[in-house]
Structure 1
Amino acid sequence: MSRQPTKIVSSEHLVSETSAELSEFEYGLIMASNAFNRWMVRCMAAAGGKDMTPVEVSLLHHVSHRDRKKKLADICFVLNIEDTHVATYALKKLVARGYVKSEKTGKEVFFSATATGRELCARYRDVRERCLIAALKESGLVNEQIGAAAQLMRNASGLYDTAARAAASL
């Protein structure tokens, strides 16, 4: 008699008979999200950016991306941040620390990384190479697996966004 493998979930009361795998995936997302947030904060601290939140770290990296000025709405759209107040507050903190500058053009405010912010991102990259990339090489995971997981997570993000819109209309 073949025995079904045990599903590893965080909330057995949510497990669906239709897709127990979704509950497993959600538990993995919770664990990965918390681990990634902890990693970003500790990596940034090691790079010299003390007491930054995961949102601040994400925003600094995105504002530094391609060295282009970005509007708040575009930043929130790309990072899938629904509450613009959270992003606005974090950006104000980054401006106060000298990592980001804001510039008003007409009615729009644009954000960009300062030289100090770009230097901090470069140090973050160095720590990332020494700690995370080194661990990746030792883990047995290959880049193709990482790429497939990234695609799965982007697809799941769309699924959850669609479901969130449906739930908001109930």
Structure 2
Amino acid sequence: MDRKADGKRSGIGPVVAASHLADGAMPALSEMEYALVILGNAYQRWIARCCSAAGGEGLSSIEVQILHAVNHRSRDKSQAELCMMFNIEDTHVVAYALKKLQALGLVESGRRGKEKTARITREGAELCLRYRALREKLLVESAATLGLDESRISEIAALMRVLSGQYDQASRAAASM
């Protein structure tokens, strides 16, 4: 790709899926949105395939994410906490994931007052450890060879979390129109 001295691409516009959206005041946002779409799809595919290779066949990416979240810090999690953690509006998605994980013996239900909670089982924790080992071998080792600056990756992650708030606010505004 031909680049100018200032690092910008010359001769072509931003890499986007919808050029009509990039024609506005902030084309870089359209470029980032497209990158998020393809990164998100690759990430979801990776999660499900890594879990399957670790022995958790048939789990969707959200079910794997819920499993890891329930395992996080060995503390029971409520459905509401899991929805908030992943910014999931449709509580049925989390309820279904928990039900499936429980049926597979990977999580078990508990109570915190009147609130139903989920906790990891020994089998669920072992699956998470096998997933982690595969992730280290297949993804982390490979990504480490790219020479990426970990502090820069953290900065990008922080920016993505900040932008999620902008999208949420714009979503609320659109819903009120």
* Same fold? TM cut 0.5: yes
Match of 1:71 among 64, 67, 78: 78
- Structure 1: gaps spanning 5 or more residues: none
What's the CA shift string for 1:9-32, capped at 9, x where partnerless?
Answer: 011122242000110000010011
In structure 1, what is the equivalent of residue 101 of structure 2? Answer: 94
Structure 1 residues 7-156: aligned runs within 5 Å? 7-156=14-163
Distance 1:114 1:39 in 2: 23
Give the number of aligned pairs. Answer: 169
Distance 1:125 1:136 in 2: 15
If each structure's helix is expressed as a fraction of its own residues, which one has the higher value? 1
Q: Percent identity of the aligned residues?
A: 46
Distance 1:127 1:38 in 2: 15
Whose RCO is larger (CA < 8 A, sep 6+)? 1
* 2:176 aligned with 1:169: yes
Cα offset for 1:5? 4.3
Distance 1:155 1:76 in 2: 18
- Structure 2: gaps spanning 5 or more residues: 5-9
In structure 1, what is the equivalent of residue 7 of structure 2? Answer: none
SS of corresponding position for 1:111: strand
Distance 1:19 1:6 in 2: 12
Tell me the TM-score normalized by structure 2: 0.91
What's the CA shift string for 1:61-101, capped at 9, x where partnerless?
Answer: 00100000111111100111110001101110000000010
Moved over 6 A (4+): none
Distance 2:23 2:169 in 1: 19
Distance 2:29 2:112 in 1: 45
